[in-house]
Structure 1
């Protein structure tokens, strides 16, 4: 346990010495603070921001990520600007309707605090949103592969629950692809934000197995739903949306199929699964976020369908102008999912 004001700096891999693929880092970060397509040439190492899930990964990026010690190489560092930029929209979008069962469930199984594992915590926005909404003492275990983000998340973590009870934190580094029930031993809740859509089916199955084995619920928020609405509408909206969705599914990632796969995986292990919409609703007050989202959304579509480049350049220019003028409205649809395990000793 850590006393308030003293952030932890302990690291712990879920599979010691295995290196890891970096899935626990969540791919919703802007490398080096890059603004995305339209501001950087392809192949320059920058990564455009994409809807709900962050920057587009370069081909082969996943296999290149290693924890320190695997070959002496430091892992890539991810700037937190994108995470901070989207935090307000995330907080407004998350489905508070799913929190009811979590407020009435018992806390720690041994009478201690509620133990929450936050997977791919990034800058810790999920904890800042959820901890003050749950009563009782809480201990958050923040998982990510980026040590800088872990330190930031620990320092910025809330210190009080909804009823004023203390909130403490610790940090762990590791790979969600190797998550086990043992890693979640004693967990009261598993959370993640904008994570499911950048996982493969096998990784979602691993996550569901770990939660079922540990007997803990999972609150998995802000998974992209594959639907975007822009006002005023444009004839190219549909083509860009379809190309972006195809890009999200590359390399075996689930993209817009993530919620359906997760529902099936958790339900197949006896959990009761609830889903609720959690859309971003972006207007003039969110112009900075909308601009970055647009650049990445269109950029991913062009990467998937290069023949769109000419029309897409004109489309992006017009959309950015409308954003700057305050006349553009965007709804990016997401879905939140709550999986409640089968009660011990009885039917679901």
Structure 2
């Protein structure tokens, strides 16, 4: 996510960094903006209420979602920035191009009343850091709030490196397993998050639009940081890869990558009954 819910970075971040740093989020912001599916903005605009809009940005980080999306939506707007890192919240509040307030807290504790009066809920690089139960609860909260939800840059489990080499598939498979790891008693969804979120919203009667939003990385600092984090996470999951890591990173210097993500827009729906949940009929 743009902010920091989990102790490891998501599919787009340095995997072994304890927290999401402002430096990393700033480095990736241009790639994020280029990747997000602008095609979803028009159907989103079509279902928004008249302004002023109230937008809740979950895991806002440095505020990159507001900087990308706010200029594309009707004005005036007020953004409610949620994160558990006070430094990131302060940075975001000072730099977003609209009226904003901050809310410090853990997003897994989010309740529908926290979103009262919302016109839109947004998040970036969040869903893959959640568990099945947390994604289901988030869908319930968004639907109960009665507003559309836009989730961008969820990991898709697709990485294409150029030029290809045989070790790519081994590192990719280990990384995907790392994204699905169990940590702190939580089993993360990783690349399965898009399907889980879609199912959770559809089960509640929402209409879900999805578009691919791949990162396209050329040689440079962002590619280098992403690659090191990707390899480190793969090695953490599959220690046998460590003997190949240094040579692989050296050979990959100057390479290019397409890192798959998906954006979701969920519109409408109705809250489930108390007995419904993941896997229920």
Q: How far 1:53 sits from its partner (Å)?
A: 4.4
Q: Write out aligned runs for 1:82-101 (5 A).
A: 82-101=24-43
Length, aligned pairs only: 266
- TM-score (normalizing by structure 2): 0.89
Query: In structure 2, what is the equivalent of residue 301 of structure 1?
Result: 234
Query: In structure 2, what is the equivalent of residue 174 of structure 1?
Result: 105
Structure with greater Cα Rg: 1
Q: How far 1:329 sits from its partner (Å)?
A: 1.4
The one of 257, 277, 291 aligned to 2:192 = 257
The one of 202, 217, 221 aligned to 1:267 = 202
Q: How far 1:55 sits from its partner (Å)?
A: 3.1
Q: Write out aligned runs for 1:7-46 (5 A).
A: 25-27=4-6
Q: Write out aligned runs for 1:17-166 (5 A).
A: 25-27=4-6, 51-56=11-16, 78-107=20-49, 113-158=52-97
Relative to 1, partners in 2 of residues 1:283 and 1:114: Cα closer, same or farther, differing over 3 Å? same
Relative to 1, partners in 2 of residues 1:27 and 1:92: Cα closer, same or farther, differing over 3 Å? farther
Q: How far 1:57 sits from its partner (Å)?
A: 6.6
2:70 alignment partner, SS class: helix
RMSD: 2.0
Query: In structure 1, what is the equivalent of residue 266 of structure 2?
Result: 339
CA distance in 2, matches of 1:295, 1:218: 32
Query: In structure 1, what is the equivalent of residue 149 of structure 2?
Result: 218
Structure whose residues are more often helix by fraction:
2
CA contact 1:176–1:203 (8 Å) conserved in 2: no
Do structure 1's residue 315 and structure 2's residue 248 form an aligned pair?
A: yes
Q: How far 1:233 sits from its partner (Å)?
A: 0.5
CA distance in 1, matches of 2:100, 2:159: 36
Unpaired runs of 5+ in structure 2? Answer: 271-281
Encode CA deviations 1:275-325: one digit per residue, 9 max, x unaligned: 1000000113xx1000000100001001111011112221112112xx2xx
CA contact 1:50–1:300 (8 Å) conserved in 2: no
Q: How far 1:24 sits from its partner (Å)?
A: 6.8
Query: In structure 1, what is the equivalent of residue 279 of structure 2?
Result: none
CA distance in 2, matches of 1:100, 1:239: 39
Query: In structure 1, what is the equivalent of residue 224 of structure 2?
Result: 291
CA contact 1:50–1:297 (8 Å) conserved in 2: no
CA distance in 2, matches of 1:336, 1:226: 14
CA distance in 1, matches of 2:48, 2:235: 49
Query: In structure 1, what is the equivalent of residue 174 of structure 2?
Result: 243
1:216 alignment partner, SS class: coil
Do structure 1's residue 195 and structure 2's residue 174 form an aligned pair?
A: no
Query: In structure 1, what is the equivalent of residue 138 of structure 2?
Result: 207
- TM-score (normalizing by structure 1): 0.73
CA distance in 1, matches of 2:151, 2:10: 19
Q: How far 1:105 sits from its partner (Å)?
A: 2.6
Relative to 1, partners in 2 of residues 1:207 and 1:57: Cα closer, same or farther, differing over 3 Å? farther
2:258 alignment partner, SS class: strand
CA distance in 2, matches of 1:299, 1:137: 44
